[in-house]
Structure 1
């Protein structure tokens, strides 16, 4: 009986450790708005895996913190100023890539600076790098893997 009890306790500890590990690597967000239509619609739930800049590829759908204003001002700490609100966009250019046409990059800037990415919504009316310029990768939450109940992204 004691052996069974120890096995149950060990199993419960493994489940708790697994849940904590998954929570640190994966997040579920709910899309609010139309910037990613037709790929994602308002209200869609998306599974996001936390990733770093080196793990990004062009075309990835990413979740990142938006700046407070078009000047690119951020408050200290992730999502501190936005009340936990995030942007979901597609990576169009990585550090060192040529700046795509139509991006608010500033005069004389021809390549995406280190630590920055260019992101665009799938909807042409999206507010993204066309208006805001580069997005800092230190404000990246992760990469959207799939729509819950829908296709992989």
Structure 2
């Protein structure tokens, strides 16, 4: 079970391929706030709703100084299909080895339909301009999460 991050922790550095296979690093976003969200699988109903909500609110988030990165264990080819099918504008990164998911505490045991399973824990970590964790939210709901995040950040 990976440790959950706490506010004030240094956000784990990462470099992962995006939907086009190009490497994207957390360091690329130094000096800006980054919403890093972790989701189980592209092209599934909940994850599609969440990705579309982030895309719909990208302007507001960007105007408030936030960039958005979605991370899942999907391969870049599946992320590209997801992006095209749903017209997504958020950066989607591929973590098939689940190393970044684990580093962020977004992979481990969770309850699914009353059973304990091991998998991706839907999570959102907000990283500040200095690369520190500002907020770490675990077991978030796919529906309504972005609206709640915007409200909590007072955007």
TM-score after normalising by structure 2? 0.24
Please identify which structure carries the higher helix content: 2
Bigger relative contact order, structure 1 or 2 (CA pairs below 8 A, ≥6 apart): 2
Please identify which structure carries the higher strand content: 2
Task: Select the structure of larger CA radius of gyration.
Answer: 1
